[in-house]
Amino acid sequence: MTAAGIETNNREKILEVQNLRTSFFTEDGEVRAVDDVSFNVYKGRTLGIVGESGCGKSVTSLSIMRLIPMPPGRIVSGEIIYKGQDLLKLNFAQMRSIRGNEISMIFQEPMTSLNPVFTVGNQICEAIALHQKLPRRQVRDKAIEMLQLVKIPSPEKRVDDYPHQLSGGMRQRVMIAMALSCNPQILIADEPSTALDVTIQAQILDLLKELQDKVGMGLILITHDLGVVAEVADEVIVMYAGRVVEHGSVRQIYSNPKMPYTMGLLNSIPTLSRDPTGKIKKKRLETIPGIVPSLLNLPIGCRFQDRCTYVVDECRRVEPELREVPSNKQSDKLDMTGFSHLIRCVRDV
């Protein structure tokens, strides 16, 4: 359920990311892919991370999983607190017992993230056998049970199929089954529906929501599709060039965006005329001029300055800090989720 006001106070924090910085050290210099990113993940809630390619959203999720290729990458600073311990301080063995077990991940490409030479059952069993001490017979039963959970028809037969025998949507279901097989506390879904067709995407998003209600995990949904985020997320982070530029509840971000980048993104999507939001059909799409700056060569001041229509001199001098949007009685009434609305912009709002 999105924006259910009553639950405000009993949110249970399960993951805390603080001032995360991840850089890649290349021949041309340091690329700060994720630069000072902080957020929390709550039990049973969905955090959406949106942004365009190269904004650092995937690197953020890989940092949580400690899957950043090192070298050239390195998590430079920050803390990722899970169950009272900092994931960044764990050794490899300790991390392995968490990864795929308590925090798991599904990737964008269901075609490439499954091993083509093993049956899907075999691949699901691998995760279960690794993390749970179950007799062999039961491991297979558990795999079938997982396939049933993600609604794959005749799971006892499908468990012996190879990935190429399944369609894209079915493969993504297998990935979800695998990720959920050890009852994780947190599921990171990196563009889980991007490679899929709309009708299949709807099935997968529905499934994720249903499973979240059933299992109660915290979900981090990474996507570039603002429509998907609006439907699934409770809380949203908008990233630009490695920085969080706007952060708030899904209603705050969509009904009351304050950062010019978020406003531009929302305006540049064509709207359907049959939906209430798109009654007036736009003749021309609004665009954000220019392109994302290179992370090797960032401007001084706000990173969005060259593409911003509201740019003032101050934007070119200092980079604005993330600050809270002064509360407005009217919008507060609409939004009772208790998420504060943060923006990185000097504009008077």
Partner 1 sequence: MSMNEPAVNADILLSVRNMVKRFPIMGGILSKEVASVKAVSDVSFDIRRGETLGLVGESGCGKSTLGRCILRLIQPTSGTIVFRGQDITSIDHAELRKLRRNMQIIFQDPYASLNPRMTVEDILGEPLDIHKLCRNKRERKERILRLLDLCGLRRESIARYPHEFSGGQRQRICIARALAVEPEFIVCDEPVSALDVSIQAQIINLMQDLQKELSLTYLFIAHDLKVVEHISTRVAVMYLGKIVELATAEDLYREPKHPYTRALLSAIPIPDPTYQKERIILRGDVPSPINPPEGCFFHPRCPIAQDNCKIHRPELRNLSSNEGIAHIVSCHYPG
Q: What sign has the CA pseudo-torsion 90, 93, 96, 97?
A: negative
Query: Least distance from C-beta 284 to partner 1, angstroms?
Result: 6
Query: Least distance from C-beta 344 to partner 1, angstroms?
Result: 18
By beta-carbon proximity to partner 1, the closer residue of 20 and 208 is 208
Residue 116 makes contact with partner 1 by CB under 8 A: no
By beta-carbon proximity to partner 1, the closer residue of 97 and 268 is 268
Cα 252 off chain centre by: 18
Residue 154 makes contact with partner 1 by CB under 8 A: no
Tokens of 277: 């939001």
* β-strand partners of 46: 219
Give 238's contacts (C-beta < 8 A, 6+ positions apart).
50, 51, 244, 245, 246, 247, 253, 259, 261, 262, 265
Compute φ and ψ for 22, nearest 5 degrees.
Answer: -125, 130
Tokens of 50: 């949106």
Q: Which stretch binds partner 1 (CB under 8 A): 32-40, 75-83, 277-285, 325-333?
A: 277-285
> For the window 290-319, what string marks contact with partner 1 as x by the rule CB under 8 A?
-xx---------------------------
Q: Sort residue 36 into left (φ over 0), alpha (ψ -120 to 50) or beta.
A: left
Residue 210 makes contact with partner 1 by CB under 8 A: no
Q: How far apart are CA 23 and CA 25, in angstroms?
A: 6
Specify the DSSP element, H or E, that contains 66: none
CB neighbourhood size of 104 (10 A): 26
- Determine the 3-state secondary structure of 33 from DSSP: strand
State the number of CA atoms in the 13 A half-sphere of 14 facing the CB: 18
Tokens of 237: 């982070």
Residue 237 makes contact with partner 1 by CB under 8 A: no
Residue 251 makes contact with partner 1 by CB under 8 A: yes
**Angle between helices 168-180 and 136-149 in degrees, nearest 10:** 130
Residue 202 makes contact with partner 1 by CB under 8 A: yes
Q: Which stretch binds partner 1 (CB under 8 A): 4-12, 66-74, 75-83, 260-268?
A: 260-268
**Given candidates 276, 297, 313, 326, which one binds partner 1 under the rule CB under 8 A?**
276
Query: Least distance from C-beta 240 to partner 1, angstroms?
Result: 10
> For the window 160-199, what string marks contact with partner 1 as x by the rule CB under 8 A?
-------xxxx--------------------------xxx
By beta-carbon proximity to partner 1, the closer residue of 142 and 243 is 243
Query: Least distance from C-beta 347 to partner 1, angstroms?
Result: 19
Residue 201 makes contact with partner 1 by CB under 8 A: yes
Specify the DSSP element, H or E, that contains 221: strand 218-223
**Given candidates 128, 264, 304, 339, which one binds partner 1 under the rule CB under 8 A?**
264
Residue 84 makes contact with partner 1 by CB under 8 A: no
**What radius of gyration do the chain's Cα atoms show?**
21
Query: Least distance from C-beta 130 to partner 1, angstroms?
Result: 30
> For the window 212-231, what string marks contact with partner 1 as x by the rule CB under 8 A?
------------xxxxxxxx
Q: How far apart are CA 295 and CA 292, in angstroms?
A: 9
Q: How far apart are CA 136 and CA 153, in angstroms?
A: 23
Query: Least distance from C-beta 224 to partner 1, angstroms?
Result: 7
By beta-carbon proximity to partner 1, the closer residue of 73 and 169 is 169
Residue 286 makes contact with partner 1 by CB under 8 A: yes
Q: How far apart are CA 349 and CA 329, in angstroms?
A: 14
Task: Name the residues that contact partner 1, by CB under 8 A.
Answer: 2-3, 52-53, 153, 167-170, 197-203, 205-206, 224-231, 250-251, 254-255, 264-266, 268-277, 281-282, 284-289, 291-292
